[in-house]
Chains A and B, each alone.
Chain A
Amino acid sequence: GAVVSQHPSWVICKSGTSVKIECRSLDFQATTMFWYRQFPKQSLMLMATSNEGSKATYEQGVEKDKFLINHASLTLSTLTVTSAHPEDSSFYICSASWFRRGGLNEQFFGPGTRLTVL
Protein backbone atom coordinates (compact mmCIF):
# COMPACT_ATOMS: atom_id res chain seq x y z
CA GLY A 1 0.00 0.00 0.00
CA ALA A 2 0.80 3.73 0.07
CA VAL A 3 1.88 4.05 -3.54
CA VAL A 4 2.57 7.42 -5.09
CA SER A 5 3.00 7.94 -8.81
CA GLN A 6 4.37 10.84 -10.83
CA HIS A 7 3.79 11.70 -14.44
CA PRO A 8 5.73 12.20 -16.57
CA SER A 9 8.87 10.43 -15.42
CA TRP A 10 10.93 12.67 -17.65
CA VAL A 11 10.21 15.67 -19.81
CA ILE A 12 12.21 17.86 -22.16
CA CYS A 13 10.87 21.28 -23.05
CA LYS A 14 11.96 24.45 -24.74
CA SER A 15 12.87 27.54 -22.78
CA GLY A 16 9.85 29.77 -22.17
CA THR A 17 7.27 27.01 -22.17
CA SER A 18 5.34 25.70 -19.16
CA VAL A 19 5.47 22.15 -17.90
CA LYS A 20 3.01 20.37 -15.63
CA ILE A 21 3.99 17.47 -13.38
CA GLU A 22 1.34 15.32 -11.73
CA CYS A 23 1.59 13.54 -8.41
CA ARG A 24 -1.04 10.95 -7.51
CA SER A 25 -1.64 8.87 -4.41
CA LEU A 26 -2.94 5.60 -5.83
CA ASP A 27 -4.29 3.75 -2.82
CA PHE A 28 -4.84 6.35 -0.14
CA GLN A 29 -6.21 9.83 0.30
CA ALA A 30 -3.42 12.33 0.72
CA THR A 31 -4.33 15.27 2.91
CA THR A 32 -0.89 16.75 2.35
CA MET A 33 1.50 16.60 -0.56
CA PHE A 34 5.06 17.85 -0.66
CA TRP A 35 7.16 18.94 -3.61
CA TYR A 36 10.93 18.62 -3.54
CA ARG A 37 13.69 19.57 -5.91
CA GLN A 38 16.94 17.64 -6.12
CA PHE A 39 20.05 18.74 -7.96
CA PRO A 40 22.61 16.12 -9.03
CA LYS A 41 24.44 14.57 -6.09
CA GLN A 42 22.61 16.80 -3.63
CA SER A 43 19.92 16.34 -1.06
CA LEU A 44 16.21 16.95 -1.40
CA MET A 45 15.12 20.54 -0.99
CA LEU A 46 11.53 21.12 0.04
CA MET A 47 9.88 23.59 -2.29
CA ALA A 48 6.32 23.69 -1.02
CA THR A 49 3.62 21.90 0.88
CA SER A 50 0.06 21.63 -0.32
CA ASN A 51 -3.05 20.67 1.59
CA GLU A 52 -6.12 19.54 -0.30
CA GLY A 53 -8.39 22.45 -1.11
CA SER A 54 -6.12 25.20 0.13
CA LYS A 55 -3.25 27.28 -1.16
CA ALA A 56 0.22 25.84 -1.11
CA THR A 57 2.79 26.99 1.42
CA TYR A 58 6.12 27.78 -0.21
CA GLU A 59 9.52 27.55 1.41
CA GLN A 60 11.63 30.65 1.62
CA GLY A 61 13.31 31.50 -1.65
CA VAL A 62 10.92 29.51 -3.85
CA GLU A 63 9.11 31.64 -6.40
CA LYS A 64 5.40 30.90 -6.10
CA ASP A 65 4.68 32.48 -9.48
CA LYS A 66 7.28 30.28 -11.12
CA PHE A 67 6.22 27.03 -9.46
CA LEU A 68 2.44 26.81 -9.35
CA ILE A 69 1.05 24.09 -7.14
CA ASN A 70 -2.53 22.85 -7.14
CA HIS A 71 -3.96 20.20 -4.84
CA ALA A 72 -7.51 19.99 -6.08
CA SER A 73 -8.34 16.52 -4.79
CA LEU A 74 -7.22 14.07 -2.13
CA THR A 75 -5.37 12.01 -4.72
CA LEU A 76 -3.84 14.56 -7.07
CA SER A 77 -1.43 17.46 -6.82
CA THR A 78 0.18 19.22 -9.74
CA LEU A 79 3.33 21.30 -10.06
CA THR A 80 3.50 23.65 -13.03
CA VAL A 81 6.84 25.17 -13.89
CA THR A 82 5.92 28.35 -15.74
CA SER A 83 8.13 29.96 -18.38
CA ALA A 84 10.77 27.34 -17.78
CA HIS A 85 14.43 28.19 -18.23
CA PRO A 86 17.53 25.98 -18.29
CA GLU A 87 18.21 26.71 -14.62
CA ASP A 88 14.89 25.05 -13.78
CA SER A 89 16.27 21.76 -15.06
CA SER A 90 16.28 19.40 -12.12
CA PHE A 91 14.77 16.28 -10.60
CA TYR A 92 11.40 16.97 -8.98
CA ILE A 93 10.04 14.58 -6.37
CA CYS A 94 6.65 14.60 -4.69
CA SER A 95 5.57 12.87 -1.53
CA ALA A 96 2.17 12.37 0.04
CA SER A 97 0.88 11.77 3.53
CA TRP A 98 -2.39 11.53 5.37
CA PHE A 99 -3.18 13.24 8.64
CA ARG A 100 -3.03 11.16 11.79
CA ARG A 101 -3.90 13.14 14.89
CA GLY A 102 -1.15 12.69 17.43
CA GLY A 103 0.76 10.28 15.23
CA LEU A 104 3.35 10.14 12.51
CA ASN A 105 2.30 11.64 9.20
CA GLU A 106 4.66 9.46 7.21
CA GLN A 107 5.54 10.64 3.75
CA PHE A 108 5.41 8.27 0.79
CA PHE A 109 7.52 9.29 -2.16
CA GLY A 110 6.85 9.28 -5.87
CA PRO A 111 9.50 8.07 -8.32
CA GLY A 112 10.42 11.59 -9.42
CA THR A 113 10.33 13.57 -12.66
CA ARG A 114 13.44 14.63 -14.52
CA LEU A 115 12.93 18.01 -16.19
CA THR A 116 15.33 19.22 -18.84
CA VAL A 117 14.83 22.70 -20.26
CA LEU A 118 16.67 23.40 -23.51
Chain B
Amino acid sequence: AQTVTQSQPEMSVQEAETVTLSCTYDTSENNYYLFWYKQPPSRQMILVIRQEAYKQQNATENRFSVNFQKAAKSFSLKISDSQLGDTAMYFCAFMKSTGFQKLVFGTGTRLLVSP
Protein backbone atom coordinates (compact mmCIF):
# COMPACT_ATOMS: atom_id res chain seq x y z
CA ALA B 1 0.00 0.00 0.00
CA GLN B 2 1.10 3.53 -0.70
CA THR B 3 1.47 6.15 2.01
CA VAL B 4 2.01 9.89 1.82
CA THR B 5 3.54 11.86 4.67
CA GLN B 6 3.44 15.60 5.21
CA SER B 7 5.47 16.39 8.28
CA GLN B 8 4.62 20.08 8.54
CA PRO B 9 1.13 20.61 9.98
CA GLU B 10 1.42 24.39 9.66
CA MET B 11 3.70 26.84 7.90
CA SER B 12 3.81 30.61 7.85
CA VAL B 13 5.37 32.93 5.30
CA GLN B 14 5.30 36.61 4.62
CA GLU B 15 3.93 38.03 1.43
CA ALA B 16 6.47 38.00 -1.45
CA GLU B 17 8.66 35.46 0.33
CA THR B 18 9.34 31.88 -0.73
CA VAL B 19 8.15 28.82 1.15
CA THR B 20 8.70 25.10 0.67
CA LEU B 21 6.25 22.44 1.74
CA SER B 22 7.56 18.92 2.28
CA CYS B 23 6.10 15.61 1.20
CA THR B 24 7.48 12.10 1.26
CA TYR B 25 5.82 8.96 0.06
CA ASP B 26 6.30 5.25 0.11
CA THR B 27 5.56 2.92 -2.79
CA SER B 28 6.92 -0.09 -4.59
CA GLU B 29 5.58 1.19 -7.91
CA ASN B 30 8.00 2.43 -10.54
CA ASN B 31 5.57 4.59 -12.48
CA TYR B 32 3.12 6.89 -10.78
CA TYR B 33 1.86 10.44 -10.51
CA LEU B 34 2.31 12.95 -7.72
CA PHE B 35 0.13 15.95 -7.10
CA TRP B 36 -0.17 19.01 -4.95
CA TYR B 37 -3.69 20.20 -4.27
CA LYS B 38 -4.73 23.46 -2.65
CA GLN B 39 -7.85 23.69 -0.51
CA PRO B 40 -8.66 27.33 0.31
CA PRO B 41 -11.26 28.31 2.92
CA SER B 42 -13.99 27.67 0.33
CA ARG B 43 -12.90 24.01 0.57
CA GLN B 44 -12.85 23.57 -3.21
CA MET B 45 -9.97 21.27 -4.12
CA ILE B 46 -7.72 22.89 -6.71
CA LEU B 47 -4.93 21.12 -8.55
CA VAL B 48 -1.74 23.12 -8.16
CA ILE B 49 0.78 20.96 -9.95
CA ARG B 50 1.38 17.38 -11.04
CA GLN B 51 4.51 15.34 -11.70
CA GLU B 52 4.88 12.12 -13.64
CA ALA B 53 7.45 9.86 -12.04
CA TYR B 54 9.10 8.85 -15.28
CA LYS B 55 9.87 12.48 -16.07
CA GLN B 56 13.10 13.63 -14.48
CA GLN B 57 12.40 17.29 -15.09
CA ASN B 58 10.69 19.01 -12.20
CA ALA B 59 7.25 20.39 -12.97
CA THR B 60 6.61 24.13 -12.76
CA GLU B 61 3.43 26.19 -12.94
CA ASN B 62 4.09 29.89 -12.72
CA ARG B 63 5.07 30.60 -9.07
CA PHE B 64 4.77 26.94 -8.10
CA SER B 65 7.51 24.39 -8.65
CA VAL B 66 8.38 21.01 -7.27
CA ASN B 67 11.58 19.27 -6.26
CA PHE B 68 11.01 15.64 -7.18
CA GLN B 69 13.60 13.23 -5.83
CA LYS B 70 12.50 9.79 -6.95
CA ALA B 71 15.19 7.80 -5.17
CA ALA B 72 14.49 9.59 -1.93
CA LYS B 73 10.73 9.43 -2.53
CA SER B 74 10.45 13.11 -1.85
CA PHE B 75 8.17 15.63 -3.55
CA SER B 76 8.35 19.14 -2.14
CA LEU B 77 6.41 22.18 -3.32
CA LYS B 78 8.05 25.59 -3.58
CA ILE B 79 5.87 28.66 -3.70
CA SER B 80 7.69 31.76 -4.84
CA ASP B 81 6.53 35.34 -4.35
CA SER B 82 3.86 34.19 -1.90
CA GLN B 83 0.53 35.96 -2.13
CA LEU B 84 -2.26 36.36 0.42
CA GLY B 85 -4.44 34.18 -1.80
CA ASP B 86 -2.03 31.30 -1.31
CA THR B 87 -3.33 30.90 2.24
CA ALA B 88 -4.88 27.42 2.24
CA MET B 89 -4.44 23.79 3.13
CA TYR B 90 -2.06 22.03 0.80
CA PHE B 91 -2.33 18.30 0.22
CA CYS B 92 0.27 16.10 -1.38
CA ALA B 93 -1.18 13.09 -3.20
CA PHE B 94 -0.04 9.92 -4.95
CA MET B 95 -1.64 7.93 -7.74
CA LYS B 96 -0.49 4.75 -9.42
CA SER B 97 -0.15 4.94 -13.18
CA THR B 98 -1.58 1.49 -13.81
CA GLY B 99 -4.50 -0.49 -12.49
CA PHE B 100 -7.06 1.15 -10.28
CA GLN B 101 -6.07 4.80 -10.07
CA LYS B 102 -7.12 6.29 -6.78
CA LEU B 103 -5.60 9.23 -4.98
CA VAL B 104 -3.78 8.70 -1.70
CA PHE B 105 -3.58 11.96 0.23
CA GLY B 106 -1.20 13.19 2.87
CA THR B 107 -2.46 14.80 6.05
CA GLY B 108 -2.01 18.30 4.72
CA THR B 109 -0.05 21.44 5.56
CA ARG B 110 -1.85 24.61 6.54
CA LEU B 111 -0.11 27.58 4.96
CA LEU B 112 -0.70 31.09 6.24
CA VAL B 113 0.58 33.99 4.17
CA SER B 114 0.74 37.21 6.16
CA PRO B 115 1.13 40.79 4.92
Q: What's the Cα separation between A22 and B101 when bound, in Å?
A: 22
What CA separation (Å) do A104 and B96 show in the bound complex? 9
CB pair A91–B43 under 8 Å, yes or no, is yes
User: Would A43 and B45 count as touching, CB distance under 8 A?
Assistant: no
Q: Which of B64-72, B73-81, B102-110 contacts A (4 or more CB under 8 A)?
A: B102-110
Size range of the interface on B?
20 to 34
Please report the C-alpha to C-alpha distance between residue A74 and residue B43 in the assembled complex, in whole angstroms: 25
A21-48, CB under 8 A of B: which get 1 and which 0?
0000000000000100010011110100
Which B residues touch A105, using CB under 8 A? 101
Provide a sorted-by-A list of 19 A–B residue pairs whose CB atoms are within 8 angstroms.
A38-B43, A42-B107, A42-B108, A43-B106, A44-B91, A46-B102, A46-B103, A93-B43, A97-B101, A104-B52, A104-B95, A106-B50, A107-B103, A109-B44, A109-B45, A111-B43, A111-B44, A112-B43, A112-B44
CB-based nearest B residue for A57: B100
* Count of CB-CB pairs between chains A and B under 8 Å: 42
- Once bound together, how far apart are the Cα atoms of A91 and B89, in whole Å? 15
Once bound together, how far apart are the Cα atoms of A93 and B42, in whole Å? 12
A43 touches B44 (CB 8 A): no
Partner-B contacts on A (CB < 8 A) = 34, 38, 41-44, 46, 49, 91, 93, 95, 97, 104-107, 109, 111-112
**What's the minimum C-beta distance from A64 to chain B, rounded to whole angstroms?**
17
Closest partner residue, chain B, to A114 (CB atom): B43
- Is B102 a contact of A34 with CB atoms below 8 Å? yes
Contact yes or no, B43 A49, CB < 8 A: no
| Pair B91/A43 contact, Cβ less than 8 Å | yes
Among all A-B residue pairs, the 10 with the closest Cβ atoms: A109-B45, A105-B101, A43-B105, A111-B44, A112-B43, A43-B107, A44-B105, A43-B108, A104-B33, A107-B103
Which residues from A are CB-within-8-Å of B43? Answer: 38, 91, 93, 111-112
